[in-house]
């Protein structure tokens, strides 16, 4: 890595609309009311928002209890992704992006029932 030219390994959502289409029930659950305060609504932000909503009691207790295990799992995956990116390990980061999306799919299936 040069002094001026830096190497960065990062994960970024290219389209918030794709996030809304992929996980509409989760989007509504965590961002429908007051979501305008969140400037960026990507995949990682959704994962964190679901975890925060469950843990901070921002959604009804019955819903939070249903989502708790999967919300914990997606938050753990999000941290692992951050670690892989910091370690400049793109192969592990790529694997984790799929795992995060799979966990969000599971959360979406649960949220659709609310």
Per-residue pLDDT of the chain (114 residues; tens, 9 = 90+): 678 887 778 899 989 999 999 999 999 999 986 656 677 899 999 999 999 999 999 999 999 999 999 999 999 999 999 999 999 999 999 999 999 999 999 999 999 999
Range of the domain at 24: 16-111
Domain assignment present for 9:
no
Domain assignment present for 7:
no
Instruction: Give buried/exposed letters for 74-104 (b at 16+ CB in 10 A, else e).
Output: bbebbebbeebbeeeeeeebeebbebbbebb
pLDDT at 8: 79
Task: Provide the whole-model pTM.
Answer: 0.90
pLDDT at 40: 85
User: Nearest-5° angle of CA 86, CA 46, CA 41?
Assistant: 90
Residue given tokens 């509409």 in the structure block: 24
Contact (Cβ atoms closer than 8 angstroms) between residue 58 and residue 50: no
Q: How far apart are CA 67 and CA 99, in angstroms?
A: 17
Domain assignment present for 26:
yes
Domain assignment present for 52:
yes
């Amino acid at each position: 890595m040069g002094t001026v030219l830096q190497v960065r390994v990062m994960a970024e959502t290219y389209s918030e609309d794709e996030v809304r289409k992929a996980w509409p029930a989760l989007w509504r659950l965590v961002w429908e009311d007051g979501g305008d305060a969140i400037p960026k609504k990507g995949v990682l932000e959704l994962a964190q928002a679901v975890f925060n909503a469950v843990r901070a009691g921002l959604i009804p207790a019955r819903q939070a209890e249903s989502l708790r295990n999967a919300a914990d799992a997606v938050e753990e995956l999000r941290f692992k992704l951050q670690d892989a990116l910091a370690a400049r390990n793109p192969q592990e980061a790529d694997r984790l992006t799929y795992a995060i999306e799979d966990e969000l799919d599971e959360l979406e299936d649960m949220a659709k029932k609310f």
